[in-house]
Amino acid sequence: MAKIMLAPMEGVVDANMRNLLTRIGGIDTCVTEFIRITGQPLPDRDLLKKVPELLHQGCSTNNVPVIVQFLGCDPQMLAYHSQRAVALGARGIDLNFGCPSKTVNKHRGGAVLLDEPETIFKIVAAVRDSLSADIPVSAKMRLGNKDKFLAVDNAQAIEAAGASSLVVHARTKIEGYRPPAHWQWIRKIKESVSMPIIANGDIWNWQDYQQCRTVSGCEDVMIGRGVLADPGLALTIKQRLRGEPVTGLDWAATVQLIIEYYENVQLQLPPPFVSGRVKQWLNMMRKHNPKAQQLFEQVKKVSDLKEMTKLLDMQLQMALAGRL
Known catalytic residues? Answer: 99
Q: Count CA atoms closer than 13 A to 145's CA, side-chain side.
A: 18
> Coil, helix or strand for 16?
helix
At 292, the amino acid letter reads A
> Coil, helix or strand for 166?
strand
Residues near 164 by Cβ (< 8 Å), separated by ≥ 6? 136, 137, 138, 195, 196
Return the exposure string of 295-309: e unless at least 16 CB atoms fall within 10 Å of the residue's CB, then b: bbeebeebeeeeebe
Q: What is the spatial distance between Cα 197 and Cα 178, in angstroms, rounded to a whole number? A: 22
Contact (CB, 8 A) for 109 and 96: yes
Residues near 137 by Cβ (< 8 Å), separated by ≥ 6? 82, 92, 93, 94, 95, 124, 127, 128, 131, 162, 163, 164
Q: How far is CA 123 from the centre of its chain?
A: 21
CA-nearest of 39, 104, 40, 29 to 71 is 104
Q: What is the spatial distance between Cα 85 and Cα 64, in angstroms, rounded to a whole number? A: 17
Q: CA geometry: angle at 199 spanning 49 and 57, to 5°?
A: 30
Q: What is the spatial distance between Cα 221 and Cα 236, in angstroms, rounded to a whole number? A: 14
CA-nearest of 111, 52, 120 to 85 is 52
